[in-house]
Chain A
């Protein structure tokens, strides 16, 4: 597999440029300017299960064109936090604000329409669909997405799908999975499934991306490709929140990090700063 390291991998969004900008790219430049305003904020977000507090009072913000890392030992509440932001888990308290809109408690499908995409801690592919079909599902709704449009005369969705297939194939080539486009996604290795999941999130309209351990199970060479790919997304103005245990990747990619332990934020800042913090060292070493 070859990648032009100077340009980074071609993303679906960048390829879409020729055919027409995605909504993410079409957004007003001042909105998408790096550091202009938070793409996503949480304010005192919390989740309790009975008497157990899984996440408590977490406030964070990520701007367009920024990668925010969330690190912490197992059981720190990182995935619960991402689940609440993505609408999969109802928060017990606090707010989630997406691009200035309060979206606390919104369903995942509604958030996806606002350009929020996520990956899961365990790669979530559609096992009985092919790899190419998995990618096509990342595209936002259009013609051919209702019973009436499917049963009516004509197949307007065919032309759109042609373009989507081309883009999906370009992505697969970038990640070295072109030969597996017709393979059932359930037959791929864990690392390959992870790649499919990441590619799928960026097939269209991604403005804010939540990644839950994107490097887990991925081979070292492919980690570099993922890193390049995410940095390329960042340069296009996508806001990324990334849970990751691989500190080298966090250090290379993240503009800032949030460290969590026992459901709380114990430190925030640049990776080089927080790793010196005593509470962080204690959280990792003592638990």
Chain B
């Protein structure tokens, strides 16, 4: 296998894992619980900035980039901190709205929060590097590879790390969605008044999925910034959230496998697929066409295949095992 192919394959794997983790978190919030989180991208950004500043070291007055809270913490502390910041920020933003607002109004508030966050990060130069963002973020565990983090071995290592984190994320989300807690989340999504009448607390369940989803968003951002070594506000504008929503609608809202497939088909597939198309017009035209496709896909899927490519699976309980065997009624698809 050629070196170029190894690089490209590991790049696809890392990006696929990053998008997969992010989509798993949003699926838990939106697909499973019905929380229309239009601010999802800011939790990914918060995780990325956290991991970056905790890896870059203290900000120096003579440096070209300025930020708060710089430190040099060893792997995996920056990743854990990024997940924690994503979770707490998501919970904080959510707490402002979920107690008081109906889901559609909450979506508007969250969209506004996304716009505000981008504006603050862009215009406060000393916060997280301003419009230029942060760069030269050291890659994790480079010392294990003799400080050379551009060779094949390191890329393979990083892609494996990303894949493992993605798999762990899906195990977490799967355990939640297949539990009684997940069932109550799905009930809230389907009919909130009826769920409340059965004792389901929207606040507690929505706060829980905001926490877990925010952590996964933060983790995905941390993983990405440690791979590409840079992060700037132009990379997490509010339309990026809609890319994730498109991924879920295409893959299948409420379906964990669907979220993974959507993550591969939409952000990864459309972005990479455009490279293989014959170039015509200006480069900006190609980018604009990608956005048009991302905008059209939800409409097409909601019209022709609302359940997505991999629909949310029906939870069928095994036949009554009988008192003698007393087996658990395992859920099968």
List residues of chain A with CB under 8 Å of any chain B CB. 86, 88, 107-109, 112-113, 117-118, 120, 124-130, 132-133, 136-138, 140-147, 149-151, 157-159, 161-162, 165-166, 169, 181-182, 184, 197, 200
Contacts and interface: CB of A to CB of B under 8 A. Distances in A.
Contacts of A143: 180
Contacts of B317: 132, 165, 181-182
B283 interface: no
Interface string B177-201: 0011111101101110111111111
Interface stretch (B59-67, B70-78, B308-316): B308-316
A112 B197 CA distance: 6
Contacts of B208: 146-147
Contacts of B305: none
B290 to A, nearest CB: 31
Contacts of A113: 199
Contacts of B184: 137, 145
Contacts of A127: 190-191
A130 B315 CA distance: 7
A132 B317 CA distance: 8
A112 to B, nearest CB: 3
Kindly name the residue among B180, B186, B212 whose own CB sees the greatest number of chain A CB atoms within 10 A: B180
Contacts of B326: 162
A137 B195 contact: yes
A113 B320 CA distance: 29
Interface residues of B, number: 37
Interface of B: 172, 175-176, 179-184, 186-187, 189-191, 193-202, 208, 211-212, 254, 312, 314-317, 320, 326, 328-329
B194 A124 contact: yes
Nearest to A128: B190
A209 to B, nearest CB: 11
B175 A150 contact: yes
Contacts of A133: 183, 315
B211 A147 contact: yes
A126 B190 contact: yes
Given A144-B181, A145-B180, A166-B320, A128 B197 contact: no
A108 B193 contact: yes
6 contacts: A109-B199, A126-B194, A140-B199, A159-B328, A181-B317, A182-B316
A117 B183 contact: no
A118 B197 contact: yes
Nearest to B182: A150
A165 B322 CA distance: 12
Kindly name the residue among B186, B196, B197 whose own CB sees the greatest number of chain A CB atoms within 10 A: B197
A73 B314 CA distance: 41
B193 A124 contact: yes
Contact of A126 (B175, B191, B212, B320): B191
Contact of B187 (A137, A158, A165, A166): A137
Nearest to B319: A169
8 closest A-B pairs by beta carbon, nearest first, are A112-B199, A124-B194, A126-B190, A108-B196, A144-B180, A150-B179, A147-B208, A182-B316
A157 B180 contact: yes
Contacts of B187: 126, 129, 137
A109 B179 contact: no
Nearest to A124: B194
A145 B208 CA distance: 11
A150 B316 CA distance: 20
A155 to B, nearest CB: 8
Contacts of B314: 130, 182, 184
B176 A151 contact: yes
Contacts of A118: 197
Contacts of B176: 147, 150-151
B182 to A, nearest CB: 8
A149 B181 CA distance: 9
A143 B180 CA distance: 8
A149 B182 CA distance: 12
B166 to A, nearest CB: 17
Given A130-B314, A157-B179, A182-B316, A165 B329 contact: yes
B181 A124 contact: no
Contacts of B190: 126-129
A137 B198 contact: yes
Contacts of B172: 151
Contacts of A166: 320
Nearest to B332: A182
B312 A128 contact: yes
A138 B180 contact: no
Nearest to A146: B181
A108 B187 CA distance: 15
A145 B204 CA distance: 10
Given A128-B312, A182-B314, A88 B193 contact: yes
A158 B191 CA distance: 25
A128 B315 contact: no
Contacts of A129: 183, 186-187, 190, 315
Contacts of A109: 196-202
B183 A137 contact: yes
A102 to B, nearest CB: 20
